[in-house]
Amino acid sequence: MKCFRFCLPAVFSLFFFGTSFSQTHLNLAPTPPMGFNTWNTFQTKISEDMLRAMVDSFVSSGMREAGYQYFVLDDGWMAMERDNSGSLVADPVKFPHGMKAFADYVHSRGLKFGIYNCAGSKTCAGYPGTRGHEYEDARLYASWGVDFLKYDWCNTDSLNTPEAYKTMRAALIATGRPIVFSICEWGDHKPWLWAGGVGELYRTTGDISASFAVRISRGDWTPQSVTSILDLQESIRKYNGPNHWNDPDMLEVGNGMTDDEDKAHFSLWCMLAAPLAAGNDLRKMSAQTREILTNRELIAVDQDPRGISAFKMMLADSVELWVKPLKNNGIAFCFFNRSERSKKIDLPWKDLNISDPLSGLAIHFDSEQLSIRDLLLHKDLGTTLGNFNRTLPAHSVIVLKLSHLVN
Ligand code: GLA
């Protein structure tokens, strides 16, 4: 009897959190998840008609073909109260046909469906949270056909963070439906140290904004900028990898930064092997925005199966060089001018020695010659003989893929 009471939970937790349960076994995100999320542009102002049009644009813009998969509803999809039986319900005004009908529509266009809730008593925007309802909410999501759950951290009082996320993960597993679990506690409890066995991705910082270099206050809080988030990523690169991705937050491409800044933001997120969640209005995106978001050569860098996040080297005149080891001994190089003035690069390749103990990368350009392809211009640029000469406007990047020459 004693053993029944005490051993069963132990066996249960071993199954879910021990050797039988791990992200590797589920393998739901062998490469960083790619999709769209409503929050950055719409916050809680969402409705079924508008979202159906967005799903259509997701497909007609070529995003789906470029590899984006998940259509995720963030905060604001629920009615303000649970129903009499304690179930969450979709806001009947925003979703007159209910959530299952909308999920079916997303699936009918060849996409996967994601939804949002929160570990606390209420979501960050004040809708009903999941605390105390983990298993019933998970069953409801599974019955709707949810494929992805973003799980936030507002109104959690004294909840233990890893335990709260493990509980929800167990609830998702218990449904029998494969559901990607996106942990969103803003990096407050160092999720890179414990979330790798719990969620497929975990936010590493507070919320992003469409500001490139400056953090602009919004009264009682100050969101991050692109570069302030970037600066927090390198020290945790070793925790990144297949099925456990550091998540530097969703994209602000197409949301008001300059074209160079959008290119830099997207390229740097690809260099980090970050999840790519577009956050712009897909119905109205400009040709430039679409070109950035669907740049397959950059997406291939992000989705490289090794899943290694880039490291940084400083070059002369404060230009940063981010380096990402790729499959087949390939390497992605991202020259990044974060200053407000344009900078000239004149780099003798042979002066560059690169080594990265984490990935085993070691290149001596004085004794090895590699071919160069520019991933933003989609052009081959010869080899690493001689010098690399280019001018980088303010807040811009040059992204190259270097490959060993085939003999
Ligand atoms: C938090 C999250 C955001 C978004 C909002 C919704 O701030 O970090 O990404 O989900 O909540 O309220």
pLDDT tens, position by position, 165-218: 999 999 999 999 999 999 999 999 999 999 998 999 999 999 999 999 999 999
Q: What pLDDT was estimated at residue 128? A: 98
Domain ranges of the chain: 7-302, 311-404
Q: What pLDDT was estimated at residue 3? A: 37
Tell me the backbone φ, ψ of residue 87, rounded to 5 degrees. Answer: -85, 145
Best residue for ligand 1 mutational test, from 73, 155, 184, 221 (most atoms within 8 Å of Cβ): 184
Q: What pLDDT was estimated at residue 407? A: 63
Catalytic residue of the set 137, 147, 152, 249: 152
- Please give the average per-residue pLDDT across 106-118, as a whole number: 98
Domain 311-404 in the same topology as domain 7-302: no
- Please give the average per-residue pLDDT across 211-231, as a whole number: 96
Give 354's contacts (C-beta < 8 A, 6+ positions apart): 313, 323, 331, 361, 362, 363, 365
Residue 137 catalytic? no
The partner residues of 379 in beta bridges, in order of sequence, read 374
Residue 207 catalytic? yes
Pocket of ligand 1 (CB under 6 A): 39, 74-75, 116, 123-125, 152, 184, 186, 207
% of the chain with per-residue pLDDT over 70: 94
Split at pLDDT 50, 70, 90, the class of 7 is very low
Given the candidates 1.10.10.10, 2.60.40.1180, 2.40.10.10, 3.40.50.2000, the CATH classification of the domain at 311-404 is 2.60.40.1180
CA distance 176 to 237: 32
CB 147 within 8 A of CB 110: no
Give 93's contacts (C-beta < 8 A, 6+ positions apart): 47
Q: What pLDDT was estimated at residue 314? A: 82
pLDDT at 21 over 90: no
Reading the block at residue 77, the tokens are 């999809």
Query: pLDDT for 287-343, tens place per residue?
Result: 999 999 999 999 999 999 999 999 999 888 889 999 999 999 999 999 999 999 999
Give 287's contacts (C-beta < 8 A, 6+ positions apart): none
Q: What pLDDT was estimated at residue 316? A: 80
Best residue for ligand 1 mutational test, from 41, 46, 74 (most atoms within 8 Å of Cβ): 74
Nearest atom of ligand 1 to the alpha carbon of 207 = 8
CATH class of 7-302: alpha beta
CB 310 within 8 A of CB 333: no
CA distance 269 to 191: 19
Catalytic residue of the set 74, 137, 207, 356: 207
HSE-up of 346 (CA within 13 Å, CB side)?
Answer: 1
The partner residues of 355 in beta bridges, in order of sequence, read 362
